[in-house]
């Protein structure tokens, strides 16, 4: 495991950033290409939520489909211990740069905002494609290099992480940084959803920490991710943006060796 992976695992082992609210399910399914990916799942399919964290997408995939099995995989044991599983769901600790899964074995692979934390996003992309069966679907979401969140994270993130590392730093952030973060968040949600969002203090802190305190994030363009797909033998069927362009997302279909050679 590379140093970025070790730092990320340690971060999420220590802190379980569960920021699920009543709005999340509809936002994930209705306002995202994830809804299209879920609609493709057939009875008896095998599905992987790669980088499942505390399990929002895992539960959606289980509750919204008739898949034979939904697997949730995460680098962090701490997150998996806080994952609220459903019947027909299996949790696995593992690294998406080296998946403990056979090649060409899964009908749908989902990766929501994970591969950009690895230090090798294209390597993670290739590994997730490897375990997708020919003809299967791969959904991936990454941070958008052309969104304002990039300079915010790159400039303010190191400052916030530095403050968080000192005694009393997290309390200082909760008092000084989180309230303006909440105000900006509510304005964005109001513009996006037409109404404010209810959020407990704990969920608000978790969301702030997930955005500003994660040890590493990389940022990517549509063209870059599509090029990864071409090199990995995938066909991009759809692309889009979510959360006001902060994240870009894609539906890829893995082509067979015959189709790639044609």
CA separation (Å) from 210 to 40, 88, 227? 30, 28, 28
pLDDT surpassing 90 at residue 261: no
Looking at 3.90.1520.10, 2.60.120.380, 3.40.710.10, 3.40.50.150, the CATH number of the domain 3-144+219-261 comes to 3.40.50.150
C-alpha 79/C-alpha 14 separation (Å) is: 9
C-alpha 95/C-alpha 11 separation (Å) is: 15
Sign of the dihedral through C-alpha 133, 136, 142, 146: positive
The pLDDT tens digits for 227-249 are 999 999 999 999 999 888 899 99
- Report the half-sphere exposure of 130 (CA within 13 A, side-chain side): 14
Residues in the chain: 262
Of the candidate ranges 6-10, 28-32, 70-74, 221-225, the one whose mean pLDDT is the lowest: 28-32
Per domain, the residue ranges of the chain are 3-144+219-261, 149-212
- pTM, 2 dp: 0.89
């Amino acid at each position: 495991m590379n140093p970025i992976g070790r730092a990320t695992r340690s971060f999420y082992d220590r802190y379980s950033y569960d920021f699920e609210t009543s709005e999340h399910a509809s936002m994930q399914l209705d306002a995202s290409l994830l809804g299209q990916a879920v609609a493709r799942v057939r009875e008896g399919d095998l599905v992987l939520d790669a980088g499942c964290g505390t399990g929002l997408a895992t539960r959606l995939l289980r509750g919204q489909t008739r898949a034979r099995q939904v697997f949730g995989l995460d680098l962090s044991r701490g997150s998996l211990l806080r994952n609220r599983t459903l019947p027909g769901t299996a949790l696995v600790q593992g690294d998406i740069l080296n998946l403990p899964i056979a090649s060409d074995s899964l009908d749908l692979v989902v990766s929501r905002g994970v591969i950009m934390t690895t230090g090798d996003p294209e390597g993670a992309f290739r590994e997730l494609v490897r375990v997708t069966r020919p003809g299967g679907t791969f959904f991936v979401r990454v941070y958008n290099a052309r969104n304002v969140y990039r300079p915010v994270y790159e400039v303010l993130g190191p400052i916030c992480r530095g403050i968080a590392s000192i005694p009393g730093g997290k309390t200082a952030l909760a008092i000084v940084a989180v309230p303006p973060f909440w105000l900006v968040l509510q304005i964005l949600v109001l513009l996006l959803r037409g109404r404010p969002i209810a959020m407990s203090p704990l969920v608000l802190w978790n969301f702030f920490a997930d955005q500003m305190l994660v040890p590493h994030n990389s940022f990517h363009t549509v063209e870059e991710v599509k090029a990864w797909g071409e090199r990995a033998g995938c066909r991009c069927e759809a692309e889009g943006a979510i959360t006001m362009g902060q994240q870009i997302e894609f539906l890829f279909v893995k082509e067979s060796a015959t189709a790639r050679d044609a």
